Amino acid sequence: MKTRFFAFAALALTLAACNNDNENLNDGPVAAKFIADITPATRVNSEGTDWTEGDRIGVTGAGFTNVPYKRENGKFVTDGTVIYFDDTETKTFNAYYPYQSDGGTVTVNTAADKQGPGIDFLFASGAKGSTRSPEVSFTDKTDKGGEDNSFHHRMSLIKFTFKPGYGLIFNGMEPADYTLDGLKHEGTFDTATGTTAVTAAVESPITMQLGGATTSQVIILPQGVTTSLDLKVSFNGLDYTTTLPNPSKPEANQFSAGYAYTYNITLNNKGITVEEPEITPWEPGNSNDVSITL
C-alpha cells in the first residue's frame, strides 16, 4: 500500500467558456472544460506531493450528477459526459474521490485486502461558477475571507511505527505482521453528501502484513469505540500483545473523519510500550507511544 501523508486538498477546476458569454448563450449551451491544479495535494502519490495519473473524481453541479473526470498528463479531463453552463446563473459544485460509477450511497469495506486509495474517500463542496465567472475552484479560500471548498478526508487513519526496545534488534528481522481488534470494517459512503456510516454489527480483527517495513497504516470508517483496541505484533516467532489508548481528541473515544491517529510501538523483551497517540487533522489525530514487553 502506498505511504500517504494527507493534508487538506486544493483542487482548482476551471469551467472555460468562449469569451463572448452573450453570444454563446444565444447560440445554446456552453461546453465546460475542466482544468485541475493541486496546491497542495490531498489524495496524494507515494511522495505525498501530487494526485496520481488515472485518479478519477465525480463532479456534480449545473444540473449534472456524478460526472467523471480523470487525471491525465497532469490535468483533470472529461471521462465521457461534458458539463455545460446553459444560462447566466451562478452554479454550485460538489466533488468526491474516488469516482464510483453508480454514485449515491456506496458500500465500503476496510478489510486488509481492501486497504489503499480505493477507500480513501475525499469530498469537496460549495465551489461556485458561472458563465461570466467560469473558474470553479475547490480550494481553501478562508485566508482571503472566503469559504473552504477544498477536498477533505472522510475516513479516519490509524498509523503505526514499530521500534526495537530493550533487548531487541530488528536489523533485517523486523516484525512480520500485526493484528488490530476492536473496530468495525463495513459501512457506506454517500457520494452526494460526503458522509460515512458504519453498518457492521460487530467488531472484527484486521491483520496487516509488514513485509520488512517498520511503519504501516490502516484506513478505517469513522466510528466511536467503547473499549480499548487490542494489538498483537508478531516478531521473531513470538506474539507481543497490548491495548491501545483510545482517542482523546478532537472527540474522546471517537476516530473522527479526516483525522490520523499515530501510535508509536516499542517492542521489548518484557512487553510493548505504547506512547500516547498523536492526533492531527490528516493531518494527524493523537500520537501514542506503546511499549510491549514479552
Q: Which string of DSSP letters, residue by residue, matches 213-273?
A: -SEEEEEE--EE-SSPEEEEEEETTEEEEEEEPPP-SSSTTEE-TTEEEEEEEEEETTEEE
Domain with CATH 2.60.40.2630 in the chain: 156-293
> What is the DSSP-derived secondary structure letter of residue 21?
H
In three-state secondary structure terms, 24 is helix
- Is residue 286 scored above 70 in pLDDT? no
- Is residue 292 scored above 80 in pLDDT? no
Q: Alpha-carbon distance 233 to 235, whole Å?
A: 6
In this predicted structure, what is the pLDDT of residue 204? Answer: 97
Mean of all residue pLDDT scores within the chain: 81
In this predicted structure, what is the pLDDT of residue 7? Answer: 40
* Backbone region of residue 275 per phi and psi (left: phi > 0; alpha: psi in -120 to 50; beta: other values): beta
Instruction: Give 26 or 240, the one with higher predicted confidence.
Output: 240
What number is the average pLDDT over the span 9-13?
Answer: 50
In three-state secondary structure terms, 190 is strand
Q: CATH class for domain 156-293?
A: mainly beta
In this predicted structure, what is the pLDDT of residue 28? Answer: 55
Among 76-80, 206-210, 282-286, name the one with the lowest average pLDDT. 282-286
- Is residue 170 scored above 70 in pLDDT? yes
pLDDT digits 0-9 by tens, 57-100: 999 988 889 999 888 887 777 888 878 778 888 889 999 999 99
How would residue 27 be classed by pLDDT, with cut points 50, 70 and 90? low
Q: CATH class for domain 11-153?
A: mainly beta
